[in-house]
Amino acid sequence: MIFKGTATALITPFTRDGVDLESFGRILDDQLAGGVDAVVVLGTTGEPATMTAEEKKSVIEFAVKKLKGKLPVIVGTGANSTAAAVEMSVLAEKLGADALLLVTPYYNKATQQGLIEHFGAVAEAVKLPIICYNVPGRTGVNMLPATFAELAKRYDNIAAIKEASGNMEQIEEAIRLSEGNAVVYSGDDGITVPVMAMGGMGVISVVSNAAPRFTSEMTSAFLAGDLKKAAKMQLEMLPLVRAMFCEVNPIPVKKAMQLRGLASGILRLPLTEMTAENAAKLEKLLPSFV
């Protein structure tokens, strides 16, 4: 298993000229201090769609070097071109990644058979464990539980799925069908504990960028058997979750990291600055969780 508990889907801090590796280092130190169980770089929250190949490489290399032996580094290598996903996955493996996060191919809208062949091509090209990433609200395609279960059965390194469909029944079915072959992680901060209650192994979290200790303590409480504490923390977190997703991710979380003094908050177009009204709400909520 790649991790149990909390993995943070990290932002990529930018300057006006490129990636801000100095700020990235501070963010990684904060994640270590917060007790998270893994980090994800170049996931959706990291804005890889607007980054150059060289920028992506620099982020992977920096995270791997800084966290080696301390935390698993999971690298987002998904693309809507299977060849590009294979190429990026092979590169991440060479650079020392511990695992891969592979989103379903977007825009092309592959069939379920297409998904099997796409993920299968990557699984055959690398030895690293792969986390499938199902987020139909962004990609326009939904990986069905039976499809994920088939992939996990066919390929030993299809190890998990980040389920961000928001459909609890579908998530439960993914857990049921893949049991013994792979694990399921929540891809939505608002339902982490419910997913874990049904057999999920944790969360790949956006909120834990800004609140790593709170999020990791919540999942750790659940794993330690303190369901009452975990449930209480999940309910306490809901207002922050709403604030973190009141605009398109990662707009709010980048504002939160700016408020914490860990990054500039700079976004790349077409993403734009958070509205003043929403930023004020976030600023009021955040101190209770850090």
pLDDT digits (tens, 9 = 90+) for 69-121: 999 999 999 999 999 999 999 999 999 999 999 999 999 989 999 999 999 99
Gap between the Cα atoms of 1 and 21, Å rounded: 29
Where do we find the tokens 């020392």?
A: 96
The whole-chain average pLDDT of the chain stands at 97
The residues spanned by each domain of the chain are 5-226
Residue 1 pLDDT exceeds 90: no
Look at residue 255 in the predicted model and tell me its pLDDT: 98
Q: What percent of the chain has pLDDT over 70?
A: 100
CATH topology of domain 5-226: TIM Barrel (3.20.20)
> What average pLDDT does this structure show over 27-53?
97
Beta bridge partners of 202: 5
pLDDT digits (tens, 9 = 90+) for 256-265: 999 999 999 9
Residue 124 pLDDT exceeds 90: yes
List, in sequence order, the alpha helices (H) in the chain. 21-34, 53-67, 82-94, 112-125, 136-139, 145-154, 168-178, 192-197, 212-223, 227-244, 251-259, 276-285
> What average pLDDT does this structure show over 202-222?
98
Look at residue 287 in the predicted model and tell me its pLDDT: 95
Gap between the Cα atoms of 251 and 264, Å rounded: 12
Q: Which residues carry out catalysis?
A: 133, 162
